[in-house]
Amino acid sequence: MLPCGGCYELVYLPIQGGFSLTFPCDKSGAVEMNDLSDSARDYYLLARALVGRDFYAPTVVRMKLGGRSS
């Protein structure tokens, strides 16, 4: 489990249109893959593999209260 209940998200923004992908992480951007669902883990690994092709390098964003990124 991440400290402070996942206060941060790792955000992958699309290079050309499409959708962004977000994953709970710690302040340094480390994602606890064991805490992800199977489908979330698959998307996380896909996003990592497609950085530079379909997604920009990810950024770490602090979550606001209520679970939305700032």
Position 2 scores a pLDDT of 47
Chain segment 9-18, per-residue pLDDT in tens: 999 999 999 9
Mean pLDDT of the chain: 89
Structural domain boundaries in the chain = 3-62
Percent of the chain with pLDDT over 90: 79
Q: How far is residue 12's CA from residue 47's CA, in Å, rounded to a whole number?
A: 7
Chain segment 36-57, per-residue pLDDT in tens: 999 999 999 999 999 999 999 9
Q: How far is residue 26's CA from residue 16's CA, in Å, rounded to a whole number?
A: 27
Decide: pTM greater than 0.75: yes
